Structures are given as C-alpha cells and as structure tokens.
Structure 1
Amino acid sequence: MVKKYKIQGLLYAMAGVLSLMLLIAACKEEKLGPSGEGTKPAVITDVSIRNVNGAAVLRYNIPDENTAYVLAEYESRSGVLRSIKSSRFKDSLKVDGFAAAGSYEVTLYAVNDGDVRSDPLKITVSPLEPPYKRMLESLVIESTFGGVIVSYDNPDTAALKVVLLTEEGGAEKLVESFGVTSKSGRLLSRGFESAERKFGLFVRDRYDNYSDTIYTSLTPLYEKQLDKSKFAELTLQGDFNTPNNSSRSRLSNIWDGITANGTNDDFFATVNGAGFPQTFSFDMGVTATLSRFKYYPRSESCCAYKNSPRYFEIWGSNVADGDWSNWTKIVDCEMLKPSGLPDGEYNSVDVAYVESGIDYEIPVGTPAYRYIRFKTLSVWSSGNIAIYELTFWGSE
C-alpha cells in the first residue's frame, strides 16, 4: 500500500508540474497570440502639430498600456519612405528630413511588444523651408588671396555640408566639402591661380537632400610666399629677443626654412626670466598686404607643448620703432591641442598638428605693413618662448 501511495503521489506531482507548464504557456500565448501578435493597441489620440523648418513635432496621448512605442511613417520626398519611433514613455516625436516646405501625410501607429500595430491614424504636417535650403539662400562667395571665401548663415544650427565646385577643362570638379554645424561662419578654399574661373556651391543635409547649385565667376586675388631672404631682425624698445643657448637660438632662425626637429641652431628661443607678455619684431623687407601665415612651434616630443607660444598676437606697422601707438593689432592667435588632453599631456595627433605647421588667416581688408611684431601672451609652460619658423603669404 505504501508503494501504491508513493506512485500516486509521484503521478500527482507530475500532473501539477505539467499543469504549471501549460499555465505558463497559456500566459505567454495570451500575451503574444497564436502568431506572436497579441492584442491590437488602441489608436493614438489628441494629436497636436508644431511645424518647424524641415520637420514637425507631434504631441499625442497614448490611450492604453498595451503600447510599447509609437511609429510614424511618411515620405520625406517622393519615393523616400522614413519611419520614426518613440517610446511609450514619451508623449511626442519629431518627423524630419523633409526635402521642401509643403504638406505631407504622416501615418501614426501605436505598436505593442509583439509588433502589432493599431489601426492607422493619418494626419497632415506642413514643415517650413528646410535648413539646407535656408543656408543656400544665405551663401555669399567672394575672391580672397589664392582662392575664395564663402560666408554662410545656419540659423537652425543644422548639421550640413557646403560643397564647392569649380570648372576645369570644361568639366565640373569637386574642390572641397565643408562640414558645418555653427550658426554662421566663413569657409576658405585656396590653391588657385589669379585667373577668372567658374565656381559652384550647393548644400546637402544628412538625409541626402540636395539644394540647387549656384554659380558665379570670380578671380582669386594674387598671393605669393614672401621672400624670407629679405627678412631682418629689429631690436625695438620693449622687445625681448635675447637668444638662449649661447646665442645659438637666435631670432633669424625663424626664417631659415627649417621647420622641425633640428638643433638649437634651427629654432628661435629666448632666455628664461623675461616674463610675459614678451615681444620680438622683424622687418619683412617689403611692404605687403598679408593674406595668411604659418606658425611652426618647437616640435620635439619633449617640448611641443612646453615653451611654444600658446596665446599670441600679430601686430603690423610701417614705422620701425617701439612706440605701440604706431602699431596695429592684425590678429589674435591661439595654438590648439587637437586631442583635448589636459595641460602637461599630449599625444601623436598633437605632435603631428605641430609638425605640419599651424595656419592663421589675416582678416580681409587688413592694410599693408612692412614690420611685424609678435607678442606672446603665454606659453604652455616654462618661462621662455621657442619657435621654429614663421612663413607669410600676401602681395607686395
């Protein structure tokens, strides 16, 4: 009898386990349905629309907890279908990427965990003119030294690309593609001879919408690298150009053509202790309208971010004396650190940036000057300055 009861107990236990498994399966099946579908969510309600440039913001109510997310489907331009999802924990979504201002049909669905959609709710949005078209209208292209300069406004601070084209040999050629996110700015492209040529500009956005192309013919202004053999040291009141290393690191080293990894005879370095600001001056040998210059800091790995001028100013004058009233500040400059590492740290990217030289633009319309004054406001560390080379471009 004991054995019989044990067998019956075992059978009851097995039946209980089986019942539990069936119950779990039934629960799962109730959630997912016979084909993984589940209960259809209710339709989205109370939709409000705020139309903005190139997009529309939709707010709505989710009627039940059976919704996992809200789905919007629409054509952003003819033949291009986009879909946007938003979690059930949000009450809004943004439909974007529209190629032009106008009216567009958007279909909204509530969707459950089994990807079952509610009945569709169709609405009409009317986005305003998209950012890439707004930028095109703002573009102004002008001649500058050795090339062209493009001014733009981007009031939506959208991520856009401005594409510059030119015509060569009767064919259109890509010159540069500029990534833009700022509200306004200027884009510079150089490397052209001073001869009339046709340029084109268009704007594209991250949704592969392209603007029309605008064309104009311009003649880049003539520029050349100034002849360093004409450069000469000046010693003006208030300047400090006392060289380090027993006069081996003298000022004339900054126009000897050696730009990196030399010896003390190849860069200019002052002795310690003069403090900052610290200035030195030189004669370019000609009166020139400057277009740009390249600064080569000391580039050895030990010193690239040590005694290189970090913040500095370039001043110009046609009077070779130390009276600051005869000098005009041309441009404020900063030596950057591309890696963004803290002071005292840098990597190979930073060293490559230094070794290739750092370009600075001279503002268009700057008068012609003969004498240059370099005013160091601060270095990265240390109590002196070190510079390999300065190279200037412009027209005499």
Structure 2
Amino acid sequence: MIHIKNIHTCSLILTVSVLMMLISCSNKNGFIEPVSTDMTKPDPITNYRVSNFNGGAYIIYDLPKSNNILYVKAKYYLGDGTDRPAETRSSYFSDTTMVEGFADAKEYEVKLTVVSRANVESEPITVKVKPLTPVYRLIAANLTMVPDFAGVRIEANNEYKKNVGVVFLDDALGGGYSIRQQTVTDFPLISFAVRGYDTIPKVYAAYITDKWGNKSDTIRSTVKPLFEKQLNKGGFKAYQPGDDIMLHATYPISNLFDTLSNGGPNTGSFWHTDNKVGEMPVWCTFTTGTYAKLSRFRLMPRNFDVFTHNNPKLFSLWGTDSERPGPFTPPLFAEEGTKIGEWENLGNFSFNDPLSGAARNAATQADKDEALKGQEFTVRFNAPKVRIIRMVVSETMARTIQGNAADLTFWGDER
C-alpha cells in the first residue's frame, strides 16, 4: 500500500525535476538567450529636447517606429573628461531619460543609443546638457559654522530637500585636518552641533558631498565654542506648587535626579504620576538650585515596556526665572517661545520610535537597548535663563493618561 506521505514526496521530486529541466533548457552554456533573433540595427532617437535642472537634465526624444526596441541607454561622465562614468537606461515605454549627478553647472555630453531586444545598438546621438548648479554646491555656499555650547553648530539651507553628507573636520592633534563627524540628511534646514571642545578659538572646517561622490570646496571658519557644564544634580529638588499634577506616592520627582555611587544616573528608580489623573497633559516641576541658560538635556525612559507604556513620546519643557512663580496650567501644545504668565516654552521634543522601523509593540531588543541609553535633546539657543523647570508630557508611547521617566540630566551655563 502506498502512503499519502510518499505520494506527496514523489510529487515534490517530480515538480523540482521539471523545473530544473525548464531552467536548463532556457539557458545555453550559462548565457540567457536574446529576447529576439532580429539583428537589425535600430535607428537612433530623433527630435530630442533638453530640460536642465540642478545637477542634471531631462532629455526628451522621439523613438524610432519599431517593435524591436527594448530601451534607450545614456552614457556620460559626472566630472571632467573621463572622470566617473555613468549610465542610465529608459524603457521603450518612455520618451524621456534623466541624467543626474554632474559635478558642476557647465556643459556635458551625453551619448544616447537605442538598444533592440536582440541587444543590438543604434548609432549614438550626442546630446549636450548644461545642468544648473548642483544642490551640494548650493548648500555649501550657504553653510555656516557658529559657536555652540562646548562645540560648533553647523547650519545650512537645503531647500530642495536632497540627501547630502555634511563632513566636519578639525585639527585636534595638530597633524592636519581629519574627519570628526559625518552627517547625512535631507532636512530642509540642516542644523547640528559637534561638541567636546574647549572655549578656545580655533579654525574648523567642513564640506558637502552627495551620493554621486561629488565634493564641495572645504569651508573654514574660526569659532570660539561657548562654555558648558553638566548641572549638579545635587541642587535639583521637587517644586510642588498648588497647581502641580498628582504624583504617585512611591515614585517622587526626586527619582529623576538621584545618582549611583559613581555619580552616574540611577535608572533603577523613576518618577510616576498618580493613576487618578484624568486627562493629558501631565507634568512634574522642579528647581535646578541655580540660575542657568540650558544648552541640552538627556531623558532616560523607565526600564519597563519602553515603547508601550507611560514613557514620554511628545513633551515640552517650560521654564521661569522666578523663585516663586504663580499658578500655571500648561496647554497640551504650544509653540516654542510661547509665554504664559511667568513661564516660557523652552522647546518641544519627541522621543524616537524604534530605530529599526518596527512598530512600537514589535520593537526589537536592539531598539529597546538603544532607547534605554536615553536620548539627548537640544534646548533652543535663544531660550532664557531659568531657575525652575516644568516637564509637560502631552503624549506617552502607549497614549496613556499617566507619565513616567527614569532620569533627567541637564547641561548649560550657570555663570
């Protein structure tokens, strides 16, 4: 008697064998046969027009009347002479090909050939294009380096929202400039800081690159970084006016600033709001024990369901220079710089979702490990000096009506 399992196994073997025969019949000596046996040389394109853009051009043309055309091939060089060859292909369904990645705003030659289904090429047609100024050069032309806290802030406009690389260099060891940091971005406003420098004027450098390997001239600027220090957590304490939100008795605000014996953040404890709070936002208020212009801070989430619990997702900082500010109920959202009574919005912030791209409820262990290191945020440069801070949570990772966090560390200038 033949078992059903054996019949399935035999069917699988037969199917695989047929597939292998089909594959072997479709190839000869390892080469795929042409899709056509018509070796007639195709006619070239005609009636071409050029539309230039920043760093590239569209070439519009008429295809020859033939059913044997597969694509149009464009060959060109991105730089001078024979520097960095490039090739693009456009289907026979299209009457346009795009060439891009040119290094300069000048004239370039592009050779276009029509390729048949039998891989036979027409005579090439040489088309001259003259791209507008490439985006990487436009960005380099408006790049600036300005003082920031303990470092240098690089800023530039990227109105075309193209992906570019910003390469920052320094001469830290005195042996010539070397790369200190590389940042890739397509943000319309490029703005980031490179920190770790003393308040001594030095010449720093940067240049812009793009995905085709183009590189701008190096921009140099003398910058004197601003003074910055980590604020002493020993001076931080809860400030609980009559309008403060209800707190969980077991998890006070002071848990945000307690430290380990080595001075590091104690992420084993955390602040938590009371479960009787009825609506968002929720907040906590604390005094810094000093009068400081804040530069940046790090928020470390509670080590519990990092992306699916009460950890802050959207939050803001409000500050006041008053030692005894009046009552203040913060809104769910306000623009940065908004003033309400004695308080001013110092900035609005968003904690990263899983960096892997996974949903919050499907975060990988690597996502969680990265989040638990904390995330650093920059306080807007023109924010005022403050004595008392209120962290206002408008949305948690799980959109709950509670809030918690493990640690807050601040940097700034209290002189």
| TM interval, short-chain normalised | 0.7 to 0.9
The amino acid of 1:92's aligned partner reads: T
Distance 1:30 1:363, change over 3 A: closer
Q: Aligned partners of 2:240, 2:36: CA distance in 1, in Å?
A: 87
The amino acid of 2:290's aligned partner reads: V
Q: Aligned partners of 1:30, 1:239: CA distance in 2, in Å?
A: 75
Q: Aligned partners of 1:361, 1:182: CA distance in 2, in Å?
A: 17
> How far apart are residue 260 of structure 1 and its match?
6.2
> How far apart are residue 50 of structure 1 and its match?
0.2
> How far apart are residue 251 of structure 1 and its match?
1.3
Asked if structure 2 preserves the Cα contact closer than 8 Å seen for 1:293 and 1:391, the reply is yes
Distance 1:394 1:45, change over 3 A: same
Distance 1:240 1:93, change over 3 A: same
Structure 2 residue 143 is the aligned partner of structure 1 residue 139: yes
Structure 2 residue 121 is the aligned partner of structure 1 residue 120: no
The amino acid of 2:275's aligned partner reads: N
- TM-score, normalised to structure 2, is 0.82
Asked if structure 2 preserves the Cα contact closer than 8 Å seen for 1:257 and 1:389, the reply is no
> How far apart are residue 30 of structure 1 and its match?
12
Asked if structure 2 preserves the Cα contact closer than 8 Å seen for 1:231 and 1:283, the reply is yes
> How far apart are residue 353 of structure 1 and its match?
3.0
Task: Indicate the residue corresponding to 1:99 in structure 2.
Answer: 103
Task: Indicate the residue corresponding to 1:180 in structure 2.
Answer: 185
Q: Aligned partners of 1:304, 1:297: CA distance in 2, in Å?
A: 9
The amino acid of 1:172's aligned partner reads: Y
Task: Indicate the residue corresponding to 1:310 in structure 2.
Answer: 313
Q: Aligned partners of 1:391, 1:323: CA distance in 2, in Å?
A: 26
Task: Indicate the residue corresponding to 1:17 in structure 2.
Answer: none
CA RMSD of aligned residues (A): 2.0
The aligned length equals 358
Distance 1:29 1:377, change over 3 A: closer
Task: Indicate the residue corresponding to 1:55 in structure 2.
Answer: 56
> What SS class does the counterpart of residue 406 from structure 2 fall into?
strand
The amino acid of 1:391's aligned partner reads: T
Task: Indicate the residue corresponding to 1:210 in structure 2.
Answer: 215
Q: Aligned partners of 2:284, 2:162: CA distance in 1, in Å?
A: 43
Q: 1:227 aligns with which of 213, 225, 232?
A: 232
Distance 1:138 1:303, change over 3 A: closer
Q: 2:347 aligns with which of 331, 349, 358?
A: 331
The amino acid of 1:72's aligned partner reads: A
Distance 1:273 1:350, change over 3 A: farther
Distance 1:186 1:30, change over 3 A: closer
> How far apart are residue 205 of structure 1 and its match?
1.1
Distance 1:242 1:90, change over 3 A: same
- After superposition, give the CA deviation of every residue in 1:44-65 in whole Å (9 maximum; x if it has no partner): 1110100111101001111122
- After superposition, give the CA deviation of every residue in 1:311-362 in whole Å (9 maximum; x if it has no partner): 2211111222342311111111222212444454432233123211111110
More deviation in 155-164 or 205-214? 155-164
Query: Structure 1 residue runs of 4+, over 6 Å off?
Result: none
Q: Aligned partners of 2:286, 2:240: CA distance in 1, in Å?
A: 8
> How far apart are residue 165 of structure 1 and its match?
0.5
Q: 1:367 aligns with which of 369, 372, 384?
A: 384
> How far apart are residue 123 of structure 1 and its match?
1.7
Identity of aligned residues (%): 29
Q: Aligned partners of 1:29, 1:329: CA distance in 2, in Å?
A: 67
The amino acid of 1:84's aligned partner reads: T
> How far apart are residue 103 of structure 1 and its match?
1.0
* Unaligned 5+ runs, structure 2: 1-32, 329-340
Structure 2 residue 197 is the aligned partner of structure 1 residue 198: no
Q: Aligned partners of 1:335, 1:375: CA distance in 2, in Å?
A: 13
Q: Aligned partners of 2:359, 2:375: CA distance in 1, in Å?
A: 20
> How far apart are residue 281 of structure 1 and its match?
1.0
Q: Aligned partners of 1:242, 1:180: CA distance in 2, in Å?
A: 40
* Unaligned 5+ runs, structure 1: 1-27
- After superposition, give the CA deviation of every residue in 1:283-319 in whole Å (9 maximum; x if it has no partner): 101100000011111023x355301122221111122
Q: Aligned partners of 2:380, 2:240: CA distance in 1, in Å?
A: 27
Asked if structure 2 preserves the Cα contact closer than 8 Å seen for 1:159 and 1:205, the reply is yes
1:1-396 alignment, distance < 5 Å: 31-32=36-37, 38-63=39-64, 64-78=66-80, 79-80=82-83, 81-168=85-172, 169-243=174-248, 247-257=249-259, 259=265, 262=268, 266-275=269-278, 276-300=280-304, 302=305, 304-319=307-322, 320-324=324-328, 325-338=341-354, 339-342=356-359, 344-381=361-398, 382-396=400-414
> What SS class does the counterpart of residue 50 from structure 1 fall into?
strand
> What SS class does the counterpart of residue 254 from structure 2 fall into?
helix
The amino acid of 2:380's aligned partner reads: P
Asked if structure 2 preserves the Cα contact closer than 8 Å seen for 1:260 and 1:296, the reply is no
Distance 1:236 1:132, change over 3 A: same
The amino acid of 2:366's aligned partner reads: V
Distance 1:29 1:131, change over 3 A: closer
> What SS class does the counterpart of residue 319 from structure 2 fall into?
strand
Asked if structure 2 preserves the Cα contact closer than 8 Å seen for 1:273 and 1:383, the reply is no
> How far apart are residue 212 of structure 1 and its match?
0.5
> What SS class does the counterpart of residue 136 from structure 1 fall into?
helix
> What SS class does the counterpart of residue 32 from structure 1 fall into?
coil
